[in-house]
Amino acid sequence: MDNKIKTLKERLSNNSRHKFQNHQTNAFLALLKKRYENVLEVGCGKGYFSYVGALNGKFANCSGSDVFQDYQLDEIGPLCESVSYARMEADRLPYADNSFDLVFSMDVIEHVDDDKEFLAESLRVCKPGGLVIIGTPNYYRITNLFLKMIGKLHYPRKMGVDSYGDVIHLREYKKSELRDLLNHFHGRIEEGSLAISPCWFGVMQLNWGIDVLPAWLENLCHFWFVVFVKC
């Protein structure tokens, strides 16, 4: 993301010109089947997806939590009933059990030291019957396959630099690995609710790709959305 883009409104406008970011935003909104009363964005950064959800009338009360205090309360606040920020300490979310109707994170789990603890915390603060959404890049996306062919795909991996510093992916996930990870929470996820859906196929750097994937291309998608309901 261009660091010159200062506001969430500017980012939304900028993303509309980029195929992946635009489709990612629309795919996220499509997962929101109703208006959610209390919503938490984990690893929120500036709170882009909080902004998008509130702007589209999907979020009533927005909360953000991150190790960086950059949640744009002034932009998100006018779009919803209330907005708040609380700083994360290590892997611990500063909220009581069963606090939120929706807990989501986008492009976060690939950065954390302990992905199981990260998911456990997301489940802990989600209400029974509440929804959890995790968005994360696909290990098998096109650019990764090329890097793998030339022996340059390895983790931890520096993806670039943003306003917070170096962007490091500690890991990225195949679909089967996401299922294996969620199997650790058997009994805490409502049976039949887990869905891992592909998002986009293409090369982000060339602004080229397709939104609707045939089944045979799904495992080569750019991004995964993991969705499940807490028991």
**Average pLDDT of each block of 10 consecutive residues along the chain (231 residues)?**
72 95 98 98 97 98 96 97 92 95 98 96 98 98 96 96 92 98 95 97 96 95 98 95
Q: What is the pLDDT of residue 205?
A: 92
Q: Who contacts 116 (Cβ-Cβ below 8 Å, separation ≥6)?
A: 181, 184
Q: What dotted CATH number matches 8-138+172-229?
A: 3.40.50.150
For the chain, what are the domain ranges? Answer: 8-138+172-229
Structural element, H or E, at residue 13: helix 8-15
The phi-psi region of residue 132 (left if phi > 0; otherwise alpha if psi is between -120 and 50; otherwise beta) is: beta
